[in-house]
Amino acid sequence: MSVGVGEPIELSQSFEGFFSGEYRSLLGLATALCGNRVLGEDVVQEAMFCASRQWSKLSTYDDRARWASGAVVRRYSNLRRGRSRESRALHRLAGRRDTRVPPLARLETDSFWDAVRNLPRRQRECIALHYLDDLDVSEIAATLEIAEATVRVHLHTARKALATVVGEDEESDA
Amino acid sequence: MTIDTRGREAARRALEELAALDVPDVEMVVRSRRAQRRQRRTAWVFSAGAVLLAGAGVGALATRDGSSPHASVSQSTPTITPVRSGLSFVSFHWQGCPFQGIDGCTSVSDDGTSSDVAAASVRNDDATKGSVIVVTLTPAAAQRFASDSVYRAYIDGVEVNMVPGASGTLVLSRDAVNSWDTNTARALAARILATR
Nearest by CB to residue A112, choosing from B6, B29, B31, is B6
For residues A164 and B194, what is the distance between their CA atoms, to the nearest angstrom?
77
Neighbours of A164 (CB within 10 A): 12
**Claim to verify: residue A99 and residue A140 sit in the same structural domain:** no
**Claim to verify: residue A37 and residue A72 sit in the same structural domain:** yes
- Among the candidates A108, A130, A163, a domain finishes at A108
From residue A34, alpha-carbon distances to A23, A39, B7 in Å are: 16, 6, 17
**Claim to verify: residue A98 and residue A119 sit in the same structural domain:** no
**Claim to verify: residue A103 and residue A115 sit in the same structural domain:** no
Angle, alpha carbons B133-B62-B101 (nearest 5°): 115
**Claim to verify: residue A165 and residue A99 sit in the same structural domain:** no
pLDDT tops 80 at residue B28: yes
Contact A27 B7 (CB under 8 A): no
- Any residues with CB less than 8 A from the CB of A10 and at least 6 apart, and which? none
- Among the candidates A60, A84, A108, a domain finishes at A108
Contact A16 B26 (CB under 8 A): yes
**Claim to verify: residue A32 and residue A95 sit in the same structural domain:** yes
pLDDT at position A149, please? 94
Contact B10 A110 (CB under 8 A): yes
For residues A68 and A143, what is the distance between their CA atoms, to the nearest angstrom?
9
Most confident of A82-91, A134-143, B21-30, B35-44: A134-143
Residue B62 banded pLDDT, cuts 50, 70, 90: confident
pLDDT at position A141, please? 93
> DSSP H helical segments within B68-174, as ranges?
139-144
Whether residue A64 lies inside any domain: the answer is: yes
- Any residues with CB less than 8 A from the CB of B195 and at least 6 apart, and which? B85, B86, B87, B114
Stated pTM of the model: 0.53
Phi and psi at B92, nearest 5°, equal -150, 160
Nearest by CB to residue B39, choosing from A3, A48, A104, is A3
Nearest by CB to residue A45, choosing from B2, B19, B29, is B29
pLDDT at position B75, please? 43
pLDDT at position B17, please? 86
Contact B15 A2 (CB under 8 A): no
**Claim to verify: residue A103 and residue A131 sit in the same structural domain:** no
Mean pLDDT by 10 residues, chain A (174 residues): 48 84 91 84 89 87 88 85 59 55 72 88 92 91 92 93 80 54
The residue-averaged pLDDT of B110-124 equals: 88
Residue B162 banded pLDDT, cuts 50, 70, 90: confident
Neighbours of A121 (CB within 10 A): 14
More confident position, B80 or A141:
A141
pLDDT at position A41, please? 87
More confident position, A2 or B117:
B117
With 0-12 / 13-18 / 19 or more C-beta atoms within 10 angstroms meaning exposed / middle / buried, residue A153 is: middle
Whether residue A2 lies inside any domain: the answer is: no
**Claim to verify: residue A84 and residue A27 sit in the same structural domain:** yes
**Claim to verify: residue A77 and residue A149 sit in the same structural domain:** no
User: Number of folded domains in chain A?
Assistant: 2
Question: Starting at the edge strand that comes first in sequence, how are the strands of the sheet with B158-164 ordered?
Answer: B106-113, B87-95, B150-155, B158-164, B169-173, B130-137, B117-125
- Among the candidates A91, A108, A125, a domain finishes at A108
ipTM higher than the 0.90 cut: no
For residues A82 and A74, what is the distance between their CA atoms, to the nearest angstrom?
12
Domain assignment of residue A123, given as a range:
110-174
Give B-chain residues touching A89 at CB under 8 angstroms.
Answer: none
**Claim to verify: residue A50 and residue A136 sit in the same structural domain:** no
The residue-averaged pLDDT of B38-54 equals: 83
**Claim to verify: residue A98 and residue A124 sit in the same structural domain:** no
Q: What is the pLDDT of residues B168-195, one digit of tens each?
A: 888 898 887 788 998 989 989 998 888 8
Amino acid at B1: M
Percent of chain B with pLDDT over 90: 3
pLDDT tops 70 at residue B105: no
**Claim to verify: residue A116 and residue A101 sit in the same structural domain:** no
Mean pLDDT of all residues belonging to chain B: 78
Whether residue A125 lies inside any domain: the answer is: yes
